[in-house]
Structure 1
């Protein structure tokens, strides 16, 4: 599991590094007022970017266990770890709901 956590962190770092460049190139490609040659060159440059620079390749995983399912985005924790941390008071502001 540690390998998967490390791999996910690497993908997030690569995405952060190339995010603006990717957005800039996509803007050029989808803008009809720009000449066809420039748009084609932008398409070629976009294809040369690393695959992991796309946000589609990022998968939400628990940062503690590496579990890929039932992840709370705000905390990046799985439901089980979130529950344990909340019961132990390790997450400030999170309390058990009752009505």
Structure 2
């Protein structure tokens, strides 16, 4: 379990850094006011990053339980942990509704 937590944190930080690099390289490549040489260099570096650096390659996991099933993209929690936090009152502004 600890191994998965460490691996997940490392992967998230790696993708966060690569996402910044990718954004900068894309803006340089798409800027038509620059000369062709810096644009070409930015394009070649962008292709070297590969698919490993993209967000699509990671599997999002719950922060507490390392469960792969996240039910909402806005929260880093699984459904069970999310309900526990709501019931205990740790997430403000939310409460469990009953029909």
TM-score above 0.5? yes
Counterpart residue number, 2:70: 70
TM-score, normalization: structure 1? 0.70
What is the number of residues matched between the two proteins? 99
TM-score, normalization: structure 2? 0.70
Q: Are the equivalent residues in 2 in contact too, given 1:69–1:78 (CA < 8 A)?
A: yes
Q: 2: distance between equivalents of 1:49 and 1:91? A: 38
**Aligned-residue offset at 1:43:** 1.8
Counterpart residue number, 1:59: 59
Q: 1: distance between equivalents of 2:31 and 2:83? A: 47
Alignment of 1:1-99 (within 5 A): 1-49=1-49, 52-98=52-98
Q: Deviations for 1:5-39, whole angstroms, at most 9, x for unmatched residues?
A: 32222122122323332211111223344444332
Give unmatched runs, 5+ long, in structure 1. none
Kindly report structure 1 stretches of 4+ aligned residues shifted beyond 4 Å: none
Q: 2: distance between equivalents of 1:89 and 1:38? A: 53
CA RMSD in angstroms comes to: 2.7
